[in-house]
Amino acid sequence: MKSQPSYRTQVVQDTIIIEFYEISKFLQDELGPELDRELGQPDLANCKHILVDCQHLKYANSLFLEILLNMAAQADQRQGRFALCCLSLFLSEVFEVTRLQGRWPTFDSREAALREIQAA
């Protein structure tokens, strides 16, 4: 049985947008390496910034947080910015409990995030 994709990527100017969907705990072990491979593809090489859109994501665990930390490091290596948008109340609370809430900028909408990221 083929699994459903847990994210989708899109490029807007020099920003990679990663839109997450509900992540099965059975798929997450493979998600980090899969994202690393995709972000390393030549068609994404010229993108500096990474924006994670969480509007469809209602759950997260430590593996997901590790993936975010890795993506933020990739944005730093690209000399770009990393940001999150459309966090649910649950995800906002996860960031607060883990003390990650101030680590990256968060935005209520994708549009607001893109404006701010690309203005830098």
Residues 53-88 pLDDT 10s:
999 887 788 888 888 999 999 999 999 999 999 998
Note whether 73 and 98 are within 8 A (CB): no
Weakest-pLDDT range from 20-34, 51-65, 98-112? 20-34
How many Cα neighbours within 13 Å face the side chain of 3? 13
Across the chain, what does the average pLDDT equal?
86
Lateral strand order in the sheet of 7-12 = 7-12, 15-20, 49-53, 82-85, 106-107
| Max CA distance (Å), the chain | 44
Say what the pLDDT of residue 28 is. Answer: 58
For the chain, list the domains and their CATH numbers: 7-119 (3.30.750.24)
- Ramachandran quadrant class, 42 (left: phi over 0; alpha: psi -120 to 50; beta: rest): alpha
